[in-house]
Every structure is written in structure tokens, then in C-alpha cells.
Amino acid sequence: MTNKNLLVIFNAGSTSLKYKIFDYQTLELINSESFDIEEKGKEREILQEALFNKIIETANTFGSIKAFGHRVVHGANEFIKPTIITKANIKKLEKYNDLAPLHNPYNLSFINLALKHQPQIKNIAVFDTGFFANINIESQHFAIPLKYFYANVKRYGFHGISHQYILSEASKILKKKEKDCNLIICHLGGGCSISAISKGIAIDISLGFTPLGGVMMSTRSGDIDPGVLIYLMKKYNYTVDELNNILNHQSGILGISNTKNYLNLLAGVKNKDEKCILAFNMFCYQIKKTIASYFGILNKVDAICFTGSIGSGFEITRKTIIKNFDLIKNIPILPIKTNEELNIARQLKTII
């Protein structure tokens, strides 16, 4: 074993776990791996504990763990900046699981494992909502009675760790300081978000109160006329849980094309499957429309950045979005692979 101090970063999702181990001093990547997790209930708990122990064993072969970093999707108004998580404040954080049910419970599972098995090591949570804490007040508000805003019903925005990283990388490519950059950033993967960055500050974001809003996604509906929801509940007598399942798990690309796998969708487009073509065109259309809307609040745009497994990974998507898009002529299009774990590691170094 070497004498390196290490940062171990957990990025847990509903069906996956990614981790990366960094040298604390240099932030050099030491080791990384990802796992698919399909198990539910007790089986999942057993698997997660086994994976956690395996990661600790791996880390210990490279050095001593200085801190654990965790991506947490939703911190509401209570958790904004990177925060050291303890047994005392994790109960407060658990209150927000309902705001991001596909994410927060799984994010917190590895914090709990760390608190249980490695209580001597600090756990620091970095929040996807943090980067968007100061977006335009006009965007924070929904046009419902003001009392709900004061009850913390507002636009929070998500994928902030990724958007912040892309801002950093784009500024290097453009050879400009972050504070001088006006960007539109499209994070496109299983979940999708589009942000407007003015002078290095996020001023708007397509995702809202939960990770369900904005453009359509793999299985999530994105923005929808609320009257549709009222109609569906009345006509089909759906419970809240049934409607939640439809919007989160049966909608988006899956709801239109019958597949949530983007490679399968593209194969369907190539084979002229009408449902796949419709889903692909809807997806690109909504992204294009959102990009165009941000010109109205930015006026000047230095670059449009694409990231996420779809955004930076599939050129056909970018080409379709920018086709016949005169508004963005002569504006650089930057596909940039995101690195949320490195951004989390950078933020850990600011508080430990």
C-alpha cells in the first residue's frame, strides 16, 4: 500500500453505481468502475453493501481514504453548498427523498453505508441543485399562489454538478474566464437538462421542482400541461402513485417508441420505425426549442455545449438539433464529456 491520501467519490443512481478514486493532492484519477444494479428491496441492500466493501478494499490498496464524496440530487433550500453529512443531519436530508424519488434514496444509501462501516472518515455531499440556487427569480417562481413558493415549491434545477464542470471545460476551450462566458449547456442522457449561463452564472434551467420537468427524457414526460394530469386522474381514476409511475417510468422516449434504450431508438430510426422516428424528432425538437428560448435572456451566446451520454456521445442528435437553425450560425458547438466525479472531488478539496 502506498501513502497516498485518497478521495473516494460515489455517484449512485436508481439502476447503477459509478465510483472514482482520486489522489487528494493532485486529483489524478487512481481507479474507477461502474456497476449496473437491477436488484430491488433487500437484495439491493445486500448488493450495495458488498459493492461498498469491495470499493473500500480497492481503495486501501492504493492508499488511505481521506474523505468520501457523494453526489446527491436534491437538497431543497436547506442543502446548497457541499456539506459534511453526519448521522444528525442525514435525517434532515432524507426528508427530501420524495422530491427526487429516482435519485436521492440511492444517493443516500452509500452515505449510510459509509457512516456505518467507516465512521471515522468524513462524508461530503455535493448537490445537483447547488449550481442553480441563484437562477433568475422569474424562473424560480411557478405561477401558482405565492404561499407555495414560501413553502419551498420552486424551480431548483438538477445536473448542476455536470453543468458546472462543463462551464469550466468550455471556458478553457474558448480561452475565456468563466465569468466572461455566456453558454447554453445541454446535458442529455437518461435525464436531460438545458441551462442558460450568463457571465459564468446559471440564470435558468429546464428542470424544475423535481427532475421530471423540462424536455422529454428516457422514461420521464418532461413538461406537460397540468390540465392533462387532472383529466387523466378524473377519467381513469388514477391514484397519485399510479400517475407518478406513468410520468416517471412509462413516458418520454419509452412512452412514444416502446424503447428507453437510445441505441435501440436510433436503430429504429434507421429502420424507418414510425414510432421511433416520432420519438427522436420530438426529442430533438424540444431541445431545439429550449435552446432558442434562451437566446431571449442571454442575447449573446459564446457556445452551445452538449454533454451526457447522448449529448456528447451521439453526433446524429447534435446534427439534427442544429439543422436549419439559423439562430445559432457561427456559434461554436462543443461536445464535452462530463466528469461529475472530478467536479465533486474539486469541491471536496475546498472544505477539507
Residues annotated as catalytic (active site), given as ranges:
128
SS3 of residue 66 by DSSP = strand
* Strand pairing category for 122-127 and 63-72: parallel
Contacts of 197 (CB under 8 A, 6+ apart): 163, 167, 181, 182, 183, 184, 185, 203
Residue 192 pairs in a beta bridge with 188
Closest CA to 11 of 117, 126, 93: 126
Distance between CA 103 and CA 301 in Å, rounded? 32
334 within 8 A of 304, measured Cβ to Cβ: yes
Cell of 156: 431548483
CA 92 to chain centre: 21
Alpha-helix runs per DSSP H in 119-159: 137-140, 146-149
Per-residue DSSP letter, 209: S
| Element containing residue 228 per DSSP (H, E) | helix 226-236
Distance between CA 84 and CA 86 in Å, rounded? 7
